[in-house]
Structure 1
Amino acid sequence: MSITARRPRMSGALIGVFVVSWLGLLADGYDLYVYGATIPGILGGHGFDVTTADVGLVGSIALVGMLCGSLVVGILTDRLGRRRIFISFLTLFSLMMLACAIAPNWTSFAAFRFVACFGVGGLLPTAVAVAHEFAPAGRKSIVVGIVLTGPAAGTVIASLTALGLLETHGFRPVYAIAGLALLIVPACWRLLPESPSYLRSRGRVEEAERVAGRFGVPVEENAPVMAATIASSTRALFHGGRTRTTIVLWMVCLLSLLTIFGVSTWLPQIMREAGYGVGSSVSFLLAYSVGAIIGTIIAALLGQRFGPKPMVMTGFVAAAVALGLMATNPSGIAIAVLSAVAGFGGLGTQNMINDYVAQYYPAGSRATGLGWALAVGRIGAIVGPTYGAFIIGLGGGVSVAAISFAVPALFGAALMFAVGQIKSDSGAGVVEPAPTRSAAI
């Protein structure tokens, strides 16, 4: 039961929330995926004296930072609120990217990269939770889907920046440009409100109702008016019959992020070893990113009508098929198209998984649910770059690498089949499938 405030029609204040969330995720995506775009430069004489194995190891170590950020964010948002966490993590990773640009050696670069990814890992679940809470009822999937094009847009900018600067100026300016995200911080202070559900949980009921009234956010009557604890917010993920779905979603995220980070980290280098120049090889990452943006928007529109589950399964299958076709060594244009489809099946699919998770858990545990799902998923992200380095080391070129990343995508589609369909975009719950041998955990 809820007291629903009068909902404005996407007022300027409400749009401002989504814009700063999108800009924060754009910076998040740039900082996260710029590493893959700059690997050809780092290995090509403009960077440090490192090997392919060194690059893969640092890619994985940095993603350990993302795992830590995803785990910590659920705890910190319960204590400090989503607004302060969003702004703090955005500031942190932007400063660390500037530090990467001036790193004197590979060890320093790796350390700065680790801390930057810690901030990146914490921002995404916070931004998704904010967007979902403030999105108008009946349009949550669309709004969250549009906000989640931010990381893919950041990847596009990272790819274009690398194309323009990598061959002539090396990797350092590409990282320095990430510091421009600090310009977003003042806008966040002004436009981003605190979560009404957080305010109510801290006993600040009047403030919660004031924010809810301004932005048209429903305030739950039975929301707990108490200080949230780490244990209670985490336990909520396993109460009310959620245990099975929670575990399955963790495994789905793991397989999704293994595929994403394996492909996005090594796609430019794989294409370079296939005979393409540095610029052409990075352009395939650009096609991957554009496919993710277009695919996310289409999936969000369809997800609003059919729910996010079918879109997640479709995306996984699309990625597997596209990667499988890349193994046939098609022409450059065909590889670009397949890279775009793989982008939809990679980043686009993960965005729909995030939407599913945000709708599945109630407001009080939404950030925690997203944080834990992404934290477990980061295990796959950590494995992805090292897995890619291992596959490349075996030889076999594009064919072997493509097939190696198509397999986890197929497993992800099969696992997603085991979870229920979201009833609505209000976070009311799911319709669980009847238990079967294939769906059992």
Structure 2
Amino acid sequence: MVAANEAGPAARAGWVVPLCWCAVLLDGFDLVVLGSVLPVLLDQHVWGLTPATASVASTLGLVGMAIGALAIGTLTDVVGRRAALIFSVISFSLLTTLCAVAPSVLVFSVLRFLAGLGLGGCVPIAIALVTEYSRPGRNGAATTTIMTGYHVGAILTAVLGIAVLPSLGWPWMFLLGGGPALVLVPLMIRYLPESRQFEAVDAENAGLRGGLSAVRGLFRDGFARSTLAFWVSSFMGLMLVYGLNTWLPEIMRVAGYPLGTALGLLLTLNLGAIAGLLLSGVLADRGRIRQVAIGWFITGALFLAVLSIRLPEVGVYAAVFVAGCFVFSAQVLVYTYVGRSYPAPNRATGLGWSAGVGRLGAVCGPLLGGALLTAGIAYPWGFYAFAVVGVFGAIAIALVGRPEAERST
């Protein structure tokens, strides 16, 4: 395990949010990087890539994320948040950098899979740690605040794509994505504290806790219905997030927009996500998280359907912004709801399994987009398909059990 810093946790509590935010930012980079480089890889026929083989590469990375979320999220409730998060950042940063020198689509896909193992654990661990350091009644805003890092990372990637791809080429996107860990990891080793709630629970239950026990806890004490509903809503939410971020530029190019505009719409989508996160966190902390999450999924679905209509340039940017506002923060509200629902002994397990099952939706999103593109019907039917996914997400949230799923931290 990573050695603890000599300063006490209280002295380092102020570092929790900024360090977790930066870790999530790097995860957000990975969210968009493949969608940014895919048009170039396809145009240049790198490795003989086609939409079908690109979908396979994307899928393997997301399968790795699913396995990573399931394994690391559960392991975190046994070994602690701090060491697991540091390991996650080191592993996915190194493997993302290696993608720049992949000699074939096979090697590239394997590297994406291995990087996904580390990436999968990053968000649930960060949310668990921030939730446990947040003030009572403020965990919604705390969660949505660090998740803005996810979309800031996505925005920076879109900006880098516009600036770097035409001049330096696609490998530089992966080199620039792995570099920040050289600064972040030493800071985390020095300043990131362990969760106080985890240490208290660990001290009280030494020898009694374990990975299987933490997983079983998701189905005890009336939690089974809520657990299954969270899994379905996370599946739908991440299907939207990854499907849109992977294929939106290419779908908009099929609709007749140039590459620069398509990447600009990807940036706009994630700017909307940040605005939605800031608003939804405030509303969630007013005790309305269930209603807010349902409303966010439904509204996101409506604006995705609107994107199927040919709009003037200003109109399409506005519609994409609003869609991003609701679609992406809907998924973060699922995480907030999960973090609020489970007690400390298996909170990270609950988040990890929700994220892990959700990553299966993240696999299906790019597969759905790739299939529609291959069939030549991605525009407009892709937007209709993703709108239906949003409706299913709302239904799942409505089925979350009560009152068990409305505990405070």
Give the TM-score band, short-chain normalised.
over 0.9
Match of 2:58 in 1: 59
Distance 2:407 2:20 in 1: 20
Structure 1 counterpart of 2:187, one-letter code: A
Distance 2:156 2:308 in 1: 27
1:100-143: per-residue Cα shift (whole Å, max 9, x none)? 01112211111111111111111110000000000111322111
Match of 1:195 in 2: 195
1:226-281: per-residue Cα shift (whole Å, max 9, x none)? 45211210111111101111111111111111121111110000111222222211
Distance 1:322 1:309 in 2: 21
Is 1:353 matched with 2:303? no
Q: Which moved more, 1:82-91 or 1:185-194?
A: 185-194
Match of 1:49 in 2: 48
Distance 1:292 1:422 in 2: 29
Report % sequence identity: 32
Match of 1:108 in 2: 107
Is 1:386 matched with 2:367? yes
Matches within 5 A, 1:257-268: 257-268=238-249
Match of 1:239 in 2: 220
Matches within 5 A, 1:169-180: 169-180=168-179
Match of 2:5 in 1: none
Alignment partner of 1:250 out of 191, 216, 231: 231
Match of 1:437 in 2: none
Is 1:135 matched with 2:116? no
Structure 2 counterpart of 1:258, one-letter code: M
**CA-CA distance at 1:26 after TM superposition:** 0.3
Is 1:21 matched with 2:2? no
**CA-CA distance at 1:225 after TM superposition:** 4.0
Is 1:32 matched with 2:13? no
Normalising by structure 1, we get a TM-score of 0.87
Match of 1:148 in 2: 147
Distance 1:184 1:292 in 2: 24
Match of 1:299 in 2: 280
**CA-CA distance at 1:421 after TM superposition:** 6.2
Structure 2 counterpart of 1:38, one-letter code: V
Is the contact made by 1:254 and 1:381 (CA closer than 8 Å) also made in structure 2? yes
Is the contact made by 1:139 and 1:425 (CA closer than 8 Å) also made in structure 2? no
1:312-370: per-residue Cα shift (whole Å, max 9, x none)? 11211121111111111212222222212221222211111100000000011000001
Distance 2:53 2:408 in 1: 43
**CA-CA distance at 1:422 after TM superposition:** 7.1
Matches within 5 A, 1:69-84: 69-84=68-83
Structure 1 counterpart of 2:344, one-letter code: A
Match of 2:255 in 1: 274
Distance 1:295 1:425 in 2: 22
Q: Judging changes above 3 Å, is the alpha-carbon distance between structure 1 residues 237 and 191 closer, same or farther for their aligned structure 2 residues?
A: same
Is 1:366 matched with 2:365? no
Normalising by structure 2, we get a TM-score of 0.93
Q: Specify which structure has the higher proportion of helix.
A: 2
Is the contact made by 1:329 and 1:398 (CA closer than 8 Å) also made in structure 2? no
Match of 1:325 in 2: 306
Give the greater-gyration-radius structure (CA). Answer: 1
CA RMSD of aligned residues (A): 1.8
Match of 2:67 in 1: 68
Match of 2:3 in 1: none
Match of 2:6 in 1: none
Query: Higher RCO, 1 or 2 (CA under 8 Å, sep at least 6)?
Result: 2
5+ residue gaps, structure 2:
1-9
Alignment partner of 1:414 out of 395, 398, 404: 395
